[in-house]
Amino acid sequence: DVQLVESGGGSVQAGGSLRLSCAASGYTYSSYCMGWFRQTPGKEREGIAALNGGGGSIVYANSVKGRFTVSRDNAKNALYLQMDNLESDDTAMYYCAAGRPGRENTYCIGPYFGTPSGYNYWGQGTQVTVS
């Protein structure tokens, strides 16, 4: 079974940093796009970063560009999100997600970046609170 497990969330003061991790198992990790999303109560899930299977193509949402860095280690089946200069608006539940096959150039790093329907596996989420 495919499993995605996030970790690294917590509470931090504005201006601080956190590093989220996502451990993947149950599929050929390096073949698929991976993305980070976040969601607050009453709002739609927001795609904030994505990278293709090889990790060479990366896209960020404008809201996090310049502050967040996404990376992946295919040897460890791991995805990371380094979050620096955190702001109160970054408070949310953060999810990692695995992209659907064949949608890398559309929903992953393409024109439909950040669209949740482009992903078919999700972690349980990790809470980030910035005060």
Token digits for 33?
């796009």
Confidence class of residue 43 from pLDDT cuts 50, 70 and 90?
very high
- Residue owning tokens 């949310």: 92
CA 126 to centroid of chain Cα atoms? 11
Token digits for 115?
């669209």
C-alpha closest to that of 127 among 18, 46, 51: 18
Distance CA 31, CA 17 (A): 30
**pLDDT of amino acid 33:** 94
**pLDDT of amino acid 127:** 98
Work out the average pLDDT over 80-85: 98
Burial of 96 (0-12, 13-18, 19+ CB in 10 A): buried
Work out the average pLDDT over 86-95: 98
The overall average pLDDT reported for the chain is 94
Distance CA 7, CA 55 (A): 20
Residue 17 has pLDDT above 90, yes or no: yes
Lowest mean pLDDT among 3-12, 60-69, 88-97, 109-118: 109-118
Token digits for 106?
């559309």
What's the angle, vertex CA 85, arms to CA 93 and CA 6, rounded to 5? 30
